[in-house]
Amino acid sequence: MLKRTMTRLCLAVLTAGMISALTGCHGREGLSAFEIPEKMDTSGEYEITFWAKNDTNKTQTAIYEQAIADFEELYPNITVNLRLYTDYGKIYNDVITNITTGTTPNVCITYPDHIATYLTGSNLVVPLEELFVDDRYGLGGSEVRFDAPSKEEIIPQFLEECSFGGHYYAVPYMRSTEACYINKTYVEALGYTLPDALTWDFIWEVSEAAMEQDAEGTFLLNGQKVMIPFIYKSTDNMMIQMLKQKGAGYSTEDGELLLFNDTTGELLETIAKHAQSGAFSTFKISSYPANFLNAGQCVFAIDSTAGATWMGTDAPLCDISEDKIVEFETQVMPIPQFDVQNPQMISQGPSVCIFNKEDTQEVLASWLFVQYLLSNDVQIAYAETEGYVPVTTKAQESSAYQDYLSRCGEDNEQYYDIKIKASELLLQNVAHTFVTPVFNGSTSLRDASGQLIENTVKSVRRNETIDDAYFEELYSDMISLHRLDQLAGLRDTASSEKADLGKLPQTSVILLLSLAGAWMMIICFLIVRMVKKKREL
């Protein structure tokens, strides 16, 4: 009897286990929510991995290494292993791959858009709001062994960019925006004067004027066979900012897709017109805007302020040979606007998130390191490597950073004027920056917005017909390629941290029903037997 009861019990446990496993497998990872430990364990050894992004800039690498060395000196029981990337997309891909194997890094430089996707795993990314205000280990807490900023000292707008779904899932690390790097010499040679604020109309007009060629195909402006007057590095930013400036839709906060609207079509038509004349191209189609600008083959190069050290005749970093570099005066300006009274520009730059681990001490060590990245030593040093700005008022207002800004143009390395002017451009325009809504799938929408421009420009160059039917097909292709039609079911992920993965597959439903049916039959059988036994008694 005991044996038979055990068999039934085992069957019941197995059945329950299978059901649990089946439902558990459906998009869940089983980590408990992080809770701040009572006390930091200083006796144990902790090793954390930090996946960092640099702009292929050895000074930035050196700053990361120095930051790690300094942090390890403060916390001798914590070792930080650095893994370097030069591309946010590669970090994103690797994180996604490592989520499935449970080998995510501890600390990771990332974009909020990407974090929204990471959140499909339960408790995978650590919400930081409780850590921010913890008396001992929070921002500037009593047990923190360095001079960390308080929460109030993080620029509120930058911090809010890391908040979605009711939680702070990251802290800002550096901030940048886009800038227009202009060959002012060429603009004036064409008979134009740069306005106080750039407009799209001005850029298109000057770009078309720059296309004049002689009978041999030599451009009159530069005396060369190559001239692309206007090159945009990031076409997703281009589309997003144009739509924002026009007050047109892109997406709602909760992930409703508004990208494919009439204004988008009008913008693409304008872009197509200037791609047709050869006045406009993109990084993906032609190459880095800086290479063309420095070779005197471009008038307006739009790129991140974090790319400023590559821009201009005297740029400290350059990919083209010296004999190709042309002498010209470089002007740095905010990106062109449709309404100069109401300027709008993207806020971008790296943020840092923490991945949850079973060992809460390991997570605490990660948090302390993240906090260290916000200290003045790291913030100021890293911001000075490119046209970034520090994300804390503590760093921005420090005498060291103010001294750095005041020495603009002292040399063409540390104080390269284009780089410092690019930083100042953002410092003066923080109030005019914006970010796009973050939700699971916002990365795909961003990719699609850029690809609308890339595909349109390529089609024009290939002499395809650009009309309403073309755009209709293009929109359809983008929706299909980036699976935007599947986003509706994923939309709630960021807000609830639990992915609604839709209906279970039919096979799973059949299996579960079969198991439930079998279990019901077993229960019925037992009841019948018990009744029979009672009657026999």
Partner 1 sequence: MKKLTALLMIAAFALTCVGCGAGKGDDAKSEGVMTYEEYVAADLDTEVVIETYVQAKQSWWENQATVYTQDKDGGYFLYNMACSEEDYAKLTPGTKIKVTGYKAEWSGEVEIIDATFEIEDGNYVAKAEDVTSLLGSEDLIKHQNKFVSFKGMTVEAAGQDADGNDVAFLYSWDGSGQDGDDLYFNVSLNGSTYTFTVESYLCDNTTDVYNAVKGLNIGDKVDMEGFLYWYEGANPHITSVTVK
Closer residue to partner 1, CB minimum distance, 100 or 514: 100
Residue 195 contacts residue 204 (beta carbons within 8 Å): no
Binding of partner 1 by 285 (CB under 8 A):
yes
Q: Which of 50, 51, 54, 80 binds partner 1 (CB under 8 A)?
A: 54
Q: Which residues contact 326 (CB under 8 A, 6 or more apart)?
A: 222, 294, 295, 296, 313
Distances, alpha carbon 291 to alpha carbons 234, 321, 402, 465, in Å: 15, 10, 31, 31
Alpha helices in 247-329 (DSSP H): 262-276, 289-294
Contact segment (CB under 8 A) with partner 1 among 19-27, 254-262, 312-320, 509-517 equals: 312-320
69's CB contacts (< 8 A; 6+ apart) are none
Q: What DSSP state is assigned to residue 148?
A: P
- 81 touching partner 1, by CB under 8 A: no
Q: Which of 288, 338, 434, 519 binds partner 1 (CB under 8 A)?
A: 288
For 213, the 3-state DSSP assignment is strand
Strand partners, 257: 251
- Residue 93 binds partner 1, judged by CB under 8 A: yes
| 282 touches partner 1 by CB under 8 A | no
- In the complex with partner 1, the residue whose CB is nearer, 62 or 527, is 62
Residue from the set 249, 398, 458, 492 that interacts with partner 1 by CB under 8 A: 458
Cα–Cα distance for residue pair 29/96, rounded to 1 Å: 13
Total of residues contacting partner 1 (CB under 8 A): 25
Q: Which of 19, 194, 220, 320 binds partner 1 (CB under 8 A)?
A: 320
Spatial separation of the C-alpha atoms in residues 146 and 515, rounded to whole Å: 58
**Min. distance of Cβ 93 from partner 1 in angstroms?**
8
Asked if 60 is part of the footprint of partner 1 (rule: CB under 8 A), the reply reads yes
Contact flags string 156-185 toward partner 1, x per CB under 8 A: ------------------------------
Interface segment toward partner 1; rule CB under 8 A; list 53-61, 124-132, 184-192, 435-443: 53-61
Is the CB of 275 or the CB of 335 nearer to partner 1? 275
235 touches partner 1 (CB under 8 A): no
344 contacts partner 1 (rule: CB under 8 A): no
58-74 and 360-373 helices, crossing angle to 10°: 130
411 touching partner 1, by CB under 8 A: no
- Regarding beta strands 351-354 and 107-110, do their DSSP bridges make them parallel or antiparallel, or are they unpaired? antiparallel
Which range binds partner 1 by CB under 8 A, 139-147, 205-213, 235-243, 281-289? 281-289
Environment class of residue 5 by beta-carbon count within 10 Å: exposed (0-12), middle (13-18) or buried (19+)? Answer: exposed
Q: How far is the CB of 461 from partner 1 (least distance, A)?
A: 4
Contact region with partner 1 (CB under 8 A), list: 146-154, 201-209, 279-287, 498-506: 279-287
82 counts as binding partner 1 under rule CB under 8 A: yes
Q: Does position 211 bind partner 1 by CB under 8 A?
A: no
Our finding on whether 356 is near partner 1 (CB under 8 A) is: no
Query: In this structure, what token pair is assigned to residue 321?
Result: 């040979």
Q: Minimum distance from CB of 405 to partner 1 (Å)?
A: 25
Over its C-alpha atoms, the chain yields an Rg (Å, rounded) of 28
Q: How far is the CB of 155 from partner 1 (least distance, A)?
A: 27
Site for partner 1 in 474-533 (CB under 8 A): none
| Choices 77-85, 182-190, 242-250, 327-335 (CB under 8 A): range interacting with partner 1 | 77-85
- Interface residue with partner 1, options 62, 516, 523, 528 (CB under 8 A): 62
Whether the CB-CB separation of 386 and 306 falls below 8 Å is answered with yes
Q: By CB under 8 A, tell whether 86 contacts partner 1.
A: yes
Tell me the CA distances in angstroms from 90 to 82, 121, 234, one per residue in order.
15, 19, 16
Nearest to 81 by CA among 123, 35, 46, 54: 46
Q: Under the phi-then-psi rule, with left for phi > 0, alpha for psi from -120 to 50, and beta for the rest, what region is 124?
A: alpha
If you write DSSP's letter for every residue of 449-490 in order, what string do you get?
HHHHHHHHHHHHHTT---SHHHHHHHHHHHHHHTTGGGGGGG
How far apart are the C-alpha atoms of 504 and 182, rounded to whole Å?
A: 55
Answer for which of 34, 46, 53, 57 binds partner 1 (CB under 8 A) is 57
Q: Does 39 bind partner 1 (CB under 8 A)?
A: no
Could you tell me the smallest distance in angstroms from the CB atom of residue 59 to partner 1? 8
- Decide the pairing of beta strands 163-164 and 167-168: antiparallel
Residues of this chain that interact with partner 1 (CB under 8 A) are: 54, 56-62, 82-84, 86, 93, 285-288, 291, 317, 319-321, 458, 461-462
